[in-house]
Amino acid sequence: MKDKRGVIMGVANDASIAWAVAEVVHKEGARLAFTYPNEAIYKRVSSLRDSLQAECPIIKCDVSEPGDIQQAFSRIKEQWGEIDFVLHAIAFSDRHQLTGRYVDTTRDNFLKTLDISCYSLTEICKEVSAIMPNGGSILALTYLGANRVIPHYNVMGVAKAALESSVRYLAADLGPQNIRVNAISSGTIRTAASSGIGDFHYIMSWNKNNSPLRRNVLPAEVGKSALYMLSDLSSAVTGDVHYVDCGYNIIGMKAVDAPDLIIND
């Protein structure tokens, strides 16, 4: 990654998966820019950036604000001219609808969840493709709830299914420019976003007891796989969803495995 330049989107604090990826690719020599959606997160991103002891631009980008994505990448273009990779580690849904039944999802929250967690990748790819003249790698984060029913994951599972499908369409569109688009499907990790999911601690302990490796994935392990996806190590890989979850996806938790979950709370 020496002298490769990339944008990390989705650091909220030092528990964020995006931060684990940033640490790994920074260690391998990459130059990084970070984005933040609001002032509270800016403060945390800026003190984490200081800990890297490197010049890293920090740029405002609330992906739900019209014009923010365009402005962010035009600032990156002004500073760097071109870039080599982007990490999209962004998701949002009303936490009150990440518990109970999917059927109760409101139209407002459905649209907001899909907009922030899925459509943003499409708009980002469009902007990024203009500043990747030599090709590059774009990586998103997804979860098994895209293709199996995971208790409480609800509309976020629908958004991740759309995100994974977007990854394939975007890979087809941008492949001729040698821009690769992939996703990592991470196992469960305790973060600000995941703490909003109902009974998350139960799902984590289920994974620990039932995944083939009998444990949960560590953030740094997602970081190592992201290094592969974001670098030339994966130069022939595009449109892929790569599972980094201790084998959890081959088992797959079902609601029936968790009879003590309160699904209708």
Catalytic residues: 143, 153
Q: What are phi and psi of 127, to 5 degrees?
A: -65, -45
Rank residues 102 and 175 by Cβ distance to ligand NAD and give the closer one. Answer: 102
Figure out which of the listed residues 143, 206, 243, 248 binds ligand NAD, where binding follows CB under 6 A.
Answer: 143
Binding mask 99-138 for ligand NAD (x = CB under 6 A): -----------------x----------------------
Touching ligand NAD, residues 6-65 (CB under 6 A): 10-12, 16-18, 37, 41, 61-64
Rank residues 41 and 155 by Cβ distance to ligand NAD and give the closer one. Answer: 41
188 binds ligand NAD (CB under 6 A): yes
Taking CA atoms, 135 is separated from 130, 201, 226, 235, in Å, by 10, 40, 17, 10
Rank residues 185 and 238 by Cβ distance to ligand NAD and give the closer one. Answer: 185
Rank residues 39 and 175 by Cβ distance to ligand NAD and give the closer one. Answer: 39
194 binds ligand NAD (CB under 6 A): yes
Question: How many residues belong to the site for ligand NAD (CB under 6 A)?
Answer: 27
Return contacts of 250-254, CB within 8 angstroms, 24+ apart: 250/212, 251/210, 251/211, 251/212, 252/144, 252/148, 253/148, 253/150, 253/151, 253/203, 253/206, 253/207, 253/210, 254/148, 254/149
Distance of alpha carbon 115 from alpha carbon 93, whole angstroms: 10
Distance of alpha carbon 47 from alpha carbon 29, whole angstroms: 20
CB of 133 to ligand NAD, least distance (A): 26
